[in-house]
Structure 1
Amino acid sequence: MSVSHQIANSPPPAPVPVFGKACAAALLCGVCLLVFAPVLLPRGPALAGVAAGMALWLWPSRLRWLGAALFGLGWAGVHGHAALERQLPAHAAATEYALQGRVVGLPEHGPRSTRFRFQVDDTAAMPPAVRGRVFALGWHDLGTRAAPPARRHLQGGARWALSARLRPPRGLLNPGGFDAERHALLEGIAGTGYVRPAPAAQALGEPTGLPAWRERMATAIASQVRGDGARFVQALALGDTRGLSQADWDDLRALGLTHLVAISGFHVGLVAGVAAWLAALGWRALPLLGRVWPRPLAAAIGAVAGAALYAAVAGFALPTVRTVLMIAVVAAARCTRRRATVGQALALAALAMLLLDPLSVLAPGFWLSFAGVLWLVWCLPGRDQHWLRTFLSAQGVATLALLPLGVAWFGQASRAGPLVNLLAIPWWSLVVVPLALLGTALEALVDGAGRWPWQLAGWCFQVSWWLFGWAARSELALWWLPQAGRMALLAALLGVFWLLLPRGGGARLPALLLCLPLLWPARARPGPGEVELLVMDVGQGLAVWVRTARHQLLYDAGPAAEAGFDAGERIVVPTLRALGEGRLDRVVLSHADQDHAGGVAAVRRAFAAPPLQAPAGAPVALSQPCVAGQGWRWDEVGFRYLHPPGPARYVGNESSCVLRIDTGYGAILLAGDIGARSEALLLQAAPQSLRAQAVIVPHHGSAGSSTPAWVQAVAPQLAIVSAGHGNRFGHPRAAVVARWQGVGAEVLSTADSGALRVWLGREGLQVREQRVFQPRWWDAAERARSAAILSAVKQAADGPEG
């Protein structure tokens, strides 16, 4: 038979499996291409992509993977539009509503406030704009130190009638900072707000459902477990981390153990294994059951049921859902007598997750969960070796393989993590967690029966926590890393892949070099005589980081509120870490008001207590007062205080330290919260010292500052306002903005631009808006701006008659 005849009669190539690994990878690529794009695909092309992709995906051919990618692109676009439509319109003003609904999840009670999620009833009695939607609310104590009883009685699963002032989700945006708008999108939060004191909120019934059961269990643990271990037993048994303090989280991050305290996929797998063993044991004890349903199938169903139950107890966190899906896939293969490898189960679980919620790729847990299992499957493909060696190999692979993702998402890595995990994983997972779950199961059956298992779990945890405590507080435990770009992450992932290749896969030095851009990214610093500023987006407050060639200064530290928000801890410190700064040479507080000085304690703790300057008489532990005429030079850049004159009585805003920064290319003025009176004094004392290329607008652009004479004297190219979006003071005032624009200044506000980065040097004055530099299709400010433009265009098209 001729070769041509054999080729002609050869069977056509087999089509790619519909739910195979190739289609799962292609679907993921299509979803990521849309989700991580700066703009959202319009609804029409997205729907077309879904239809065309589905047709190509289901058609039996070798191009099915292309259809899966196209489907993923369109499917993510459809979900993106649906997620934005569930939120209040980005341009909507804060509005008060009378609401009825249910508390979902577990409320977080603080000394002066409570934070909770509230799902409004989907009934005709509720306003259409909020009907059936979930809101993140705060309930704050006003005017009294005594906690109102109603707030304290708020429980998960309870129905309430209350009045709340609601607004669209809007977050602060800083380099390396938490993206609150992305979090709201992922969690399905339609808006944020706070409970109004009048009319008084009323409970409409007893708590019911799973949240109420979790609340009861958490209360039982707190009352029956003595010592500090109670809060960790709550976290390990129920996924309830409300009791963990910021110090606890700092210690867990330093030890690399956060994945164990929040219920992990590994714990779900253990529960599934125990449930399967119990089901098989029951079938062995009652052989007649085998005639109705085979024992292996019963064990498979038991594993899925146990995993799903534990995931429900934990609130269906992403790692638990991923593990449940994988167990369900393996169980389904078992029930249909099909052999499914771990890789195939992982691919099917990924397909299920992406089809249910393609936006889940925005969550770090998605990547850490799936990537961790994928690396282990690839590097340890069922090797027959001693269990201890397997465990050590798995820890080594997980530590190295997940390092790039951890650095990219969190900007840090735990040096102590690899060693601590060797002890914590077996002790917590095989001792503490089973005891905590045993107590929960017994308590669910009989009140008070869970006391001893819970107490034993708490004692076992405290023994290990005491051992780990010294390591967590060591300066060498946590490695902070500067923020790097996406290409650095991709290069590091390639380097890790190279390092984990089998022996003989090539030299290791090039692989290490590929990791350097992520672990030690290049950082451009100002040259001699140049200066760089970062005006952080801290809401209604001020925090400005100033850097020269070899020195850095912080001017104000952002606000802190009794409700628990501390800008120093949550914004200033993480932002400086993301910029690669491990020290501060000086901290200057313009004055002692909470919106400027609230975060200073957290900043000084994080950066080894740098010298602190503030006005004389300010109620802060200052190292030296700021006085007009005082100055210093760093790297050919001059710093000089213009205000307050000394000696002078401290009078709050009007005593603000006004700092002038002089370079060979111009000057920058940091004016604190001075008002018209102090501006007049400065105009009299040193009018020639006021002219500057850039200025931080005094007092957030209030009507009591930025007088016409002062604005004329400064006459900057750039005027920056640090203010909160939609703040109750109306800052910046329209008249003040117009005044600065009248002298030719570009006026930018952190409320609209996010953090503002300013350079003054040999290339002149430059500015970067964080929301422009870091575009995201869910950006509330950009969507509000687009809505305003469309509205203006529509009004112009309609004409005055419309």
Structure 2
Amino acid sequence: MKAPTLTLLSGSVALLAGVVVVQLLPQLPPLWLEIAGLLFSLLLLWHLPRLRLLAIFLCGAAWACLRADIALSQRLPLALEGEDIQVSGTIIGLPQAQEGSTRFELYVDTALHEKASVPFAGHVRLNWYASKDGSAPDITPCSRWQLVLRLKRPRGLINPGGFDFERHALTQGIVATGYVHDDASNQMLDSGSGFCVDRLRQKILQGIDSVLGDTPESHVLRAMAFGDQAAMDEHEWAVVRATGIPHLIAISGLHIALFSGFGVLLARLLWRLFPRLTLRWPAPMLEAPLSLFFALAYAMLAGFGLPTRRSLVMIAAILVASFVWRARSSFHGLALAVLVLLICDPLCVLSAGFWLSFVGVAWLILCLGGRGTRRHGWREMLNAQGIASIGLLPLTIWFFGQSSLVGPLANVLAVPMVCFILLPFAVLGGLMFLIAPALGAPLLQVAGWVMHGLWWALEKMAAWPAAQHYFPEPNLLALVLALLGALWLLLPRGLPARGLGLALFLPLLWPLHTPLADGEVDITVLDVGQGLSVLVQTRDHAMVYDTGARFPSAFDLGEVAVVPAMRALAITHLDRLVISHGDNDHAGGTAAVVAAYIPDISEGSEPQRTHVPLQHCVAGEIWAWNDVQFSVVHPRADSPDLDNDSSCVVLVRSANAELILSGDISSKAEAQVAIEIGATAAHTVLIVPHHGSKSSSSLAFLQALHPQLAIASAGYRSRFGHPHPSVVARYAEQNIAFLNTASSGFIQVHFSAESGVEVMEQGRLARHPYWRE
């Protein structure tokens, strides 16, 4: 590489390193220090050019701190959580009508609390629930509303392998979430009758639905071409993940680059038709503006999501490099794109898409950019797919905990079809449908036929045995070693021992936790909001007790919390599934868990309410795993159906410690349960009955069991008020340590012969980057 390219490359790496270091901080420095650091780094860069890399590093760190501080300061003030706030704002994006509610996003510009103006504005994510008569509100894009909201700061569930919503909210600029409170003052202020891109997008999507109907082809095509993923169901997402094509669903660099290329082709067509144009304007002067115009126009149609904006900045930077500086190498344009993107938005490094995009392009440039000969197109495509699959495997496992074994084959089939048929026909057909439906409908129909064939092939691939593999949660060292292994494997041919790079991938297969010995138990109380799910592991066996809730219009906690946690904890087989009773917050995620792990035994106290085949859970069942005894102590076989008091109560007992899984029993059943348990072990952990309801955890029950530790599984700002303050006070009066998943996130407890009971981790406290509440 030439010196200017090396200078730009080293500068972009230094800036990136400074920005990344900030993301490892548990809290941000004071604002005055951030500003001073930024000014100092700029002065250092100006007066001591020999220290420019250090200055750029410091500048990146200070800028990232300042930008993150500004974003966090815009979040809803804590004092306003749960309060009625009257706001005025504009609908952004496309509202999603769901069963019983409408989900939408609002940009708030003014806010009143108790008729006084409050310093709150920004992007909020809301639900507006249907009224008692079942009617859902009609919300249109770009309309302006006055609404009464109940909000809370962005707060997600914290679990092994789980999605970090708080990080996502920071990158997306979401400052609060909540719902529209039923109030007479709620009204539309303006229908937004002017030009509105989102309203245009909505009409195009309605046109696709009218031509293709409510089919997988329609759902996937809407997401793939126009960035609307709302219609995709759980099965369609499962196929997408299993075949390794999420990058084709998220509007990313491939989509923007394709339409940018259309601008170049149009410019070259103009040269051929009007050759004298090149005498007045050099080719790049015509190519670059048209390329950027097409990229920008498509980005608008795709909704200007974060991946779309990032890709647009990348394309624009590369075009500028080509047009202004005549980029000396591919790395020159890539380095400039990194610099521009980090200057515009340093928080983009929190997004998986940032790393997958830039690292993927870097691998291709490194492995393919310096060739003196060209291969046939299909061979070059296969080679590029192989390079991307190996080079991006460590990052894919780090961010998603899985890899698609059929992904390379699926991408070789899907990428050409998406680039050359589906995207052009869908976008052109959608635009034509707005002007002349008779002309647009055939184009959309062609895209639908092609999508139907592609989707059939993808579904077949997703059903192949071992189509995708799940990995335990890796640590940072395993990621670094795997990246070095990928570099070793992708070194030029002829270098010795390249295959040894595979050995550096092995740490990705090792769980973070050491294997258990006989008699030891690991208990993980998952953070599932207002609900319950507990994982119990011995050396060779695993049990799941309850699976959290399922909300058809939102998400299934079995799918988004329980199953990912099991995979992150390296649980490959489920020996037993116990569902305490049929309430949704305990049994809602059962189907998702059963689909992912087929348990050897499934049982519950109310099989008729779970919609999954279960054996009846009856007191007297006993089994043992690895010197750990399990027993069902409630309900009896002759007990009547008592709703919550029929909960299946399970006792897990090791040599000197025990766990009581109590479901939702109330004080009415607690006396009988205490009698059945009898003498307790030296160390007892109690899962607090009924999430800490004031009808449970009676004084007699606590005195009979005298647990060492009590763990409540409850939602943050639970509308049921769980755990009730009087119950928390009762545990404190009995000197019982009390933990709550609402404030602790997931909670891991270990039983061992040496220490008895040891709290190993509280997820929200142990894993606490600066953006986490």
Deviation at residue 708 of structure 1 after TM alignment? 1.0
Residue 466 (structure 1) aligned to one of 456, 459, 462: 456
- Aligned equivalent of 1:793: none
Q: How does 1:267-306 map to 2 (within 5 A)?
A: 267-286=255-274, 289-290=277-278, 293-306=281-294
What is the CA–CA distance in structure 2 between the aligned matches of 1:446 and 1:330, rounded to whole Å?
A: 36
SS in structure 2 at match of 1:99 = strand
1:154 — aligned with what? 139
399-408 or 215-224, which deviates more: 215-224
Residue 718 of structure 1: aligned partner: 709
CA distance in 1: counterparts of 2:235 and 2:336, whole angstroms: 39
Distance change in 2, residues 1:129/1:350 (3 Å): farther
Q: Report 1:6-155 matches (<5 A).
A: 20-59=8-47, 61-90=49-78, 92-122=80-110, 128-129=117-118, 131-141=120-130, 143=132, 146-148=134-136, 150=137, 153-155=138-140
1:232 deviates by: 2.4
**2:101/2:128 contact within 8 Å kept:** yes
Give the CA deviation at 1:617: 6.8
Report deviation, 1:143.
Answer: 4.6
Unaligned runs of 5+ in 1: 1-13, 781-802
Per the alignment, residue 564 of structure 2 pairs with 574
Say yes or no: does 1:679 pair with 2:670.
yes
Give the Å deviation of 1:261.
Answer: 2.2
Equivalent residue for 1:315, pick from 274, 278, 303? 303
Stretch deviating more after TM superposition (672-681 or 274-283): 274-283
Distance 2:159 2:95 in 1: 28
State how far apart, in whole Å, the 1-side matches of 2:41 and 2:486 are: 33
Instruction: Report if the CA contact (8 A) 1:318-1:366 is conserved.
Output: no
Cα 1:189–1:569 change in 2 (3 A) is same
Q: Distance in 1 between matches of 2:682 and 2:649?
A: 13
Residues 228-243 of structure 1 correspond to what in structure 2 (within 5 A)? 228-243=216-231
User: Which amino acid in structure 2 is aligned with residue 476 of structure 1?
Assistant: A
Deviation at 1:497, TM superposition (A): 0.8
| Secondary structure of the structure 1 residue equivalent to 2:146 | strand
Letter in 2 for 1:551: H
2:654 corresponds in structure 1 to 663
Deviates further, 78-87 or 559-568: 559-568
Alignment of 1:165 onto 2:153: no
Any conservation in 1 of the 2:603–2:617 contact (CA below 8 Å)?
A: yes
Q: Deviations over 1:473-509 (max 9, x none)?
A: 2231111111110111011101111111113444235
- Per-residue deviation, 1:342: 1.6
Instruction: Point out where structure 2 has 5 or more consecutive residues left out of the alignment.
Output: none
> For the Cα contact (< 8 Å) 1:15–1:64, is it kept in 2?
no
- Aligned residue number for residue 770 of structure 2: 777
Deviations 1:333-366 (A, max 9, x none): 4443634422111111111111111111000000
SS at match of 2:49: coil
Instruction: Spell out, residue by residue over 1:72-123, the C-alpha distance to the aligned partner (whole angstroms, 9 max, x if none).
Output: 1101110111011110135653111122211111122212222111111348
Name the SS of the counterpart of 1:723 in structure 2: coil
- Hey, what does 2:758 align to over in structure 1? 766
Q: Provide the rounded CA distance (Å) in 2 between the counterparts of 1:139 and 1:225.
A: 29
Residue 554 of structure 1 is matched in structure 2 by: 544
Instruction: Determine what percentage of the aligned residue pairs are the same residue.
Output: 39
Report the secondary structure of 1:244's partner residue.
coil
Q: Is the contact between residue 16 and residue 62 of structure 1 (CA under 8 Å) also seen in structure 2?
A: no
Deviation larger for 410-419 or 576-585: 576-585
Question: Shift of residue 520 of structure 1?
Answer: 3.8
- After superposing the two structures, state which structure 1 stretch, 345-354 or 104-113, moved more: 104-113
Instruction: Pick one of 350, 357, 361 that aligns with 1:373.
Output: 361
Matched, 1:524 2:484: no
Pair 1:198 & 2:183 matched: yes
Residues 32 and 330 (structure 1 numbering): CA distance in 2 closer, same or farther, change over 3 Å? closer
Counterpart of 2:176, as a letter, is G
Distance between the aligned counterparts of 2:97 and 2:111, measured in 1? 29
Determine the C-alpha separation between the residues in 2 that align with 1:193 and 1:163.
Answer: 11
Question: What is the root-mean-square deviation of aligned Cα atoms in Å?
Answer: 2.3
Comparing 504-513 with 458-467, greater Cα deviation is found at 504-513
Conserved in 2, the CA contact under 8 Å of 1:525 and 1:548?
no
Q: In terms of mean alpha carbon deviation, does 615-624 or 298-307 score higher?
A: 615-624
Q: Aligned AA for 1:477?
A: A
- Residue range with higher mean Cα deviation, 621-630 or 368-377: 621-630
1:17-60 alpha-carbon deviations (Å, 9 max, x no partner): 89711110000000000112222222222112211112223446
Whether the 8 Å contact between 1:498 and 1:505 is mirrored in structure 2 is no
Cα distance, 1:771 vs structure 2: 1.6
Stretch of structure 1 that moved more, 240-249 or 127-136? 127-136
Distance 1:397 1:630 in 2: 54
Determine if the alignment matches structure 1 residue 224 to structure 2 residue 211.
Answer: yes
Note closer, same or farther for the CA distance 1:506–1:522 as it changes in structure 2 (3 Å cut).
Answer: farther
How far apart are 1:131 and its partner, in Å? 4.2
Letter in 1 for 2:706: A
2:428, 2:281 → 1: CA distance? 28
Q: Is the 8 A contact 2:80 2:151 kept in 1?
A: no
Tell me, yes or no, if structure 1 residue 389 matches structure 2 residue 382. Answer: no
Which region of structure 1 is more displaced relative to structure 2, 246-255 or 285-294?
285-294
Which letter does structure 1 place at the counterpart of 2:150? R
SS of residue paired to 2:679: helix
Counterpart residue number, 1:183: 168
Matched, 1:209 2:201: no
Deviations 1:161-203 (A, max 9, x none): 2222111111110011011111111111111101122226433
SS of aligned partner of 2:411: helix
1:427 aligns with 2:417: yes
Distance 1:69 1:368 in 2: 22
Structure 1 position 204, deviation (Å)? 2.9
Give the letter aligned to residue 250 of structure 2. A
Question: SS of 2:632's equivalent?
Answer: strand
Within 2, Cα distance between the matches of 1:618 and 1:243?
30
| TM-score normalised to structure 2 length | 0.94
Work out the CA distance in 2 between the residues paired with 1:337 and 1:732.
63
Please list the CA deviations of residues 552-588 of structure 1 after superposition, one character each: whole Å capped at 9, or x if unmatched.
1111111123433211111111111111112211111
Aligned residues: 763
Match of 1:787 in 2: none
Provide the rounded CA distance (Å) in 2 between the counterparts of 1:445 and 1:99: 37
| Contact in 2 for aligned 1:157/1:212 (Cα 8 Å) | yes
Cα distance, 1:299 vs structure 2: 1.4
1:636 & 1:686 partners in 2: Cα distance? 19
Matched, 1:539 2:529: yes
1:745–1:42 CA distance, 2 compared to 1 (3 A) = same
Change (3 A) 1:120 1:319: closer
CA–CA separation in structure 1 for the residues paired with 2:37 and 2:80: 31
1:660 partner SS: strand
Alpha-carbon shift at residue 719 of structure 1 (Å): 0.7
* Cα distance in 1 between the residues matched to 2:45 and 2:710: 54
Give the 3 Å change call, closer, same or farther, for CA 17–55 of structure 1 in structure 2: farther
For 2:638, the equivalent position in structure 1 comes to 647
8 Å Cα contact 1:16/1:61 also seen in 2: no
Counterpart contact for 1:545–1:554, Cα < 8 Å: yes
What amino acid maps onto 1:766 in structure 2?
E
SS in 1 for 2:50: coil
Give the match for residue 507 of structure 1: 497
Deviation for aligned residue 1:16: 7.6
Partners of 1:337 and 1:27 lie apart in 2 by 21
Range 83-92 or range 470-479, more displaced: 83-92
Q: Say if 1:691 and 1:714, in contact at 8 Å, map to a contact too.
A: no
TM superposition shift of 1:273:
1.4
| One-letter amino acid of the structure 1 residue matched with residue 458 of structure 2 | F
Distance (Å, rounded) in 1 between the aligned partners of 2:310 and 2:207: 29
* Residues 51 and 640 of structure 1: CA distance in aligned 2, closer, same or farther (over 3 Å): same
Give the equivalent residue in structure 2 for 1:790: none
Q: Is the 8 A contact 1:669 1:692 kept in 2?
A: no
Partner of 1:5: none
Contact 1:543–1:557 (CA<8 Å) still a contact in 2?
yes
1:665–1:505: structure 2 CA closer, same or farther, 3 Å change rule? farther
How big is the shift at 1:413?
A: 0.3
